[in-house]
Structure 1
Amino acid sequence: MAESTGDAASAFWKKKYYVIITGASVGIGRALAQAFSREVAQNSVFVITGRNAENLNETKRLVAQDAPGVEVVAQVMDHSTATFDDYRKLITDTWSKISAADGILLVHNVGTIGDVRKYATQFTDEKEIDDYFHLNVTSVMTLTSAFLEKFPNSSNLSRTIINISSLAAVKPMAGAGIYCTGKAARQMYMRIIAAENPTVTVLNYSPGPVDTAMQRELHHGVKELAEVARGNRKDASTHGNVLQRIHVH
C-alpha cells in the first residue's frame, strides 16, 4: 500500500541530497538508510536518529561501508520527548554540513506498537496514551513543521517526505487499537501535508509484514495480525519497493 503526490521524484536519484531518517538504529530505518545512501550523489548528508547509540553507530558504519562518499551524522534522540525546538536545532546544526544540495528528504520511520496486551477500552491511563501519541504522532507533526519551516517553497529545493505506514492504518485489528489509531493519524496527517503543500512529494508507504523485532512483538500479542502476516513475511533488507515508488511517482 502506497500513496504519493508530487512530481519531484522523477529526478530524485544520483543527486546531492540532505536526508533525515528517524528510527534508523535497526530494522526498516537501517535498511532504508543503506539503500538510499547507495542511490544519492557523493557529498550527500544523511542524518540518522535513534535512542540506542550503539545500534545507531552500527547503522552509520554500514552506510559508510555502502556509500563512502556520503557523510553520516548519527544523532541520539528520544522522539518521545523531543520538541519542535529540538527539531529546529537538529536541522540547523546538520544542514550546514552540505553545500549546494539538489534536494531534501525526510523519512518518518520512528514508531512503537504500544501495549498489545490491551483492548482499546483498557487504555485508561491518560499519560500512557499521551506518551504513545507524542512519540508516534506529535513528533511526526513537529518534525515535519520544522522541516518545512526550514525549507519552504521559496527554497527551490526538491522536497520529499516519506511516512512508513502499515496495514494497521486502514484495517482495524482487535488488540492493536492504539497502534492502528496512531498509524491512521499519521497517514491522514501526511495526506493533509500533501494537500497543503502541492510542491512537496509525499509518500505514505506500507512495506507489508517485515521481519523485525517490533513486528514479532506485535505478532505475539495480536493473533489477528499474525494471521494476516503468516506466509507473507519479508526481511527488513527488502527495500526495493520503496525505491521503485520514489522512481515511479
Structure 2
Amino acid sequence: MKLFMITGVSSGLGEQIANKLIQRKEKIVAIGRKFTKSQLDVSQISPELIHLLNCDLANDNDLNSLLDKFTGDYFNDVNEIVFINNAGVIGPIKKVGQYDDADSIKNNINVNYFAPLILINQLVRIAPITKKIKIINISSGAATKAVEGWSLYCSSKAAIMMFLSVLEKERDNIEILNIDPGVMDTKMQQSIRNSNFNEFPLIDQFQKYKDDDQLKDAVTVADEIVKRIIK
C-alpha cells in the first residue's frame, strides 16, 4: 500500500490531484492552510483514507506545530510513501530593488523552499529506512530559466530542486521526480495577469495565453500526473 502526502490541496492542481487520489481510494495525508468542502466531508466519512493537517506553510509557528503531528504512525501498513510538493506562490512579482516588504519576501521563500525542505527532512528522518520514498516536486520552467519580475519564484524553485537532487544522491531508497505541469488555468495565472508591465515585462504574453485559450486545464494535468506516479 502507498501513502500519498500532498501540500496545497484547496485549489488548482493540488485540489485536482487530491480529488483523483480520493476517487482511487488511496491513503492520503493532505497538508494545507484550508480544505475544500468535499475534502472535509471525505475526511469525516472515511478517516482511514484521508487525514487533513491544517498548516499555513508561510507561518513558522504553524510549521513547528505541524512537525509535532508529523509522526511515524502515518507510515504503518504502507510500503511506499509518495510526497507531492505542490504548494507554491509566485508573488510578490517585482524586479529586484522594488521589494519593499520583508514579510512578503519571507512568505515566498517559506512556501516554495523552507517549508518543503523542513517537511521532507522530517519525512526522511522518521520514515523507516526500509520504506521506499518517492518525492514528486511540482516544479516550473522558472526553476531553470531567469524571468524578469520572478526573482523570488525562480530562485526558490531552483533551490528546492537542488535540495532534492542532493537528497537523491544521499539515499538509495529515495526517488525524486520533478514535474513541470506547464502553463495552467489557475489562481497563480490570474495573479500573473494582475501584475503590471513595470514589474513583469512579459505580462502581455501571459494575457495572450488566456485570450487564445492556451492554458492547460488543471483536471487534465492532474490526471496525467496521477497516472504517472501511480504506476
Q: Quick check: TM above 0.5?
A: yes
- Give the secondary structure class of the aligned counterpart of 1:24: coil
Q: Which runs of 4+ in 1 moved over 6 A?
A: 62-65
The answer (yes or no) to whether the contact 2:92–2:108 under 8 Å persists in 1 is no
Task: State the match for 2:84 in structure 1.
Answer: 107
Task: State the match for 1:8 in structure 2.
Answer: none
State the shift of 1:241 in Å: 2.7
Q: How many residues align?
A: 221
Task: State the match for 1:90 in structure 2.
Answer: 69
1:241 counterpart (199, 215, 224): 224
Residues 172-230 of structure 1, C-alpha deviation per residue, up to 9 Å, x if partnerless?
11112211111111222121221222321211111101111122212332452662672
The equivalences for 1:149-228 within 5 A come to: 149-153=125-129, 156-221=130-195, 222-224=200-202, 227=205
**Please, what TM-score do these two structures have when normalized by structure 2?**
0.82
1:128 counterpart (104, 121, 126): 104
The answer (yes or no) to whether the contact 1:17–1:40 under 8 Å persists in 2 is no
The answer (yes or no) to whether the contact 1:64–1:70 under 8 Å persists in 2 is no
Task: State the match for 1:59 in structure 2.
Answer: 39
In percent, how many aligned pairs have the same letter? 25
Residue 121 of structure 2 is aligned to residue 138 of structure 1: no
* CA distance in structure 2 between the partners assigned to 1:212 and 1:64 by the alignment: 28
* CA distance in structure 1 between the partners assigned to 2:65 and 2:214 by the alignment: 39
* CA distance in structure 2 between the partners assigned to 1:139 and 1:165 by the alignment: 15
State the shift of 1:89 in Å: 2.1
The answer (yes or no) to whether the contact 1:106–1:161 under 8 Å persists in 2 is yes
Residue 58 of structure 2 is aligned to residue 76 of structure 1: no
* CA distance in structure 2 between the partners assigned to 1:69 and 1:203 by the alignment: 28
| Counterpart AA for 2:115 | S
* CA distance in structure 2 between the partners assigned to 1:173 and 1:219 by the alignment: 15
| Counterpart AA for 1:184 | A
Which segments of 5 or more consecutive residues in structure 2 lack a partner in the other structure? Answer: none
* CA distance in structure 1 between the partners assigned to 2:184 and 2:172 by the alignment: 31
Which segments of 5 or more consecutive residues in structure 1 lack a partner in the other structure? Answer: 1-15
- Give the secondary structure class of the aligned counterpart of 1:163: strand
- Give the secondary structure class of the aligned counterpart of 1:120: coil
Shift in CA distance, 192/56, structure 1 to aligned 2, threshold 3 Å = farther
- Please provide the CA RMSD for this pair: 2.8
* CA distance in structure 1 between the partners assigned to 2:106 and 2:74 by the alignment: 35
State the shift of 1:36 in Å: 2.6
Tell me: higher relative CO, structure 1 or 2? Use CA pairs within 8 A at least 6 residues apart.
1
Residues 73-107 of structure 1, C-alpha deviation per residue, up to 9 Å, x if partnerless?
12221111246643432222xx5367421221111
State the shift of 1:69 in Å: 9.1
Shift in CA distance, 38/122, structure 1 to aligned 2, threshold 3 Å = same
Task: State the match for 2:9 in structure 1.
Answer: 24
* CA distance in structure 2 between the partners assigned to 1:206 and 1:96 by the alignment: 31
